[in-house]
């Protein structure tokens, strides 16, 4: 005679199953708004550091002598080439030197490469904050805002920038390898950063598929 014992009944986890109260909704909304305002202020403060560098004009003391007219076309072409080279060199020096940035009363110098990197992170944060704000008012209006969403809304402003930074490195290293930062268009990078913050799940899936293509196992060849 076989006696079958009843199996254990798996209990459903009730962690975070309750609805958010009005106080919780107000607190999470204030958190999103304050982080958003701080991020916008930081973007405005660092915006000039990522703009193309302007050539630094160097004043030269010229002796008071009569200028000799140029006699040949070769001399004219040589002078034009020298001026273009000096202008390019001045732009490179200005880009490496950086620009002064004032942030909450502190003034410091930021290079264009670092400024662009910071803007990518910040715009990624803005995208994630927009996503969090849309999710809060959507679920609150439908009375479906659960306490289990607290970690998501707190971590979104940090997840978006990380996704934007990874995508920036992928695009910069793959499509713009060997390109000078002075020649890069910052608006394309910032658009991708904002979209990756707003749609972090889709960006993660895209990076996952890219990683699978890079790290996939080689097929075994039967001899």
pLDDT tens digits, one per residue of 143-168: 888 888 888 899 999 999 999 999 88
- Residue 200 is assigned to a structural domain of this protein: yes
- Residue 100 is assigned to a structural domain of this protein: yes
pTM over 0.75, yes/no:
no
- Residue 184 is assigned to a structural domain of this protein: yes
Of the listed ranges 49-58, 92-101, 103-112, the least confidently predicted one is 49-58
Range of the domain at 184: 22-51+96-213
Q: Into how many domains does the chain fold?
A: 1
pLDDT for 74: 60
pLDDT for 63: 41
Banded pLDDT at 10 (limits 50, 70, 90): low
Question: Mean pLDDT throughout 4-25?
Answer: 65
- Residue 5 is assigned to a structural domain of this protein: no
**Rounded distance between C-alpha atoms, residue 106 and residue 102, angstroms:** 5
- Residue 221 is assigned to a structural domain of this protein: no
pLDDT for 203: 84
Q: Is the pLDDT of residue 18 over 80?
A: no
Q: Is the pLDDT of residue 46 over 80?
A: yes
- Residue 107 is assigned to a structural domain of this protein: yes
Banded pLDDT at 49 (limits 50, 70, 90): confident
With CA atoms as reference, report the closest residue to 136 among 162, 123, 119, 154: 154
- Residue 86 is assigned to a structural domain of this protein: no
**Rounded distance between C-alpha atoms, residue 170 and residue 207, angstroms:** 9
């Amino acid at each position: 005679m076989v006696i079958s014992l009843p199996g254990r009944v798996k209990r459903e986890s009730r962690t975070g199953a309750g609805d958010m109260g009005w106080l919780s909704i107000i607190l999470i909304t204030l958190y999103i708004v304050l982080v958003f305002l701080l991020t916008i202020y930081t973007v405005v403060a660092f915006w000039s550091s990522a703009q193309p560098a302007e050539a630094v004009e160097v004043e030269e003391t010229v002796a008071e002598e009569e200028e000799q007219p140029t006699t040949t076309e070769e001399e004219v072409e040589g002078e034009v080439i020298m001026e273009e080279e000096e202008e390019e060199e001045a732009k490179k020096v200005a880009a490496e030197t950086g620009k002064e940035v004032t942030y909450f009363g502190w003034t410091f110098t930021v290079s264009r490469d670092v400024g662009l990197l910071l803007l990518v992170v910040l715009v990624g944060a803005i995208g994630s904050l927009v996503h969090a704000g849309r999710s809060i008012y959507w679920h609150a209006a439908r009375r479906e805002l659960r306490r289990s969403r607290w970690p998501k809304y707190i971590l979104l402003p940090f997840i978006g920038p990380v996704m934007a930074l990874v995508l920036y490195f992928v695009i910069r290293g793959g499509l713009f390898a060997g390109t000078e930062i002075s020649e890069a268009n910052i608006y394309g990078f910032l658009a991708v950063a904002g979209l990756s913050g707003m749609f972090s799940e889709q960006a993660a899936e895209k990076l996952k598929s890219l990683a699978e293509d890079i790290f996939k196992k080689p097929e075994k060849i039967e001899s």
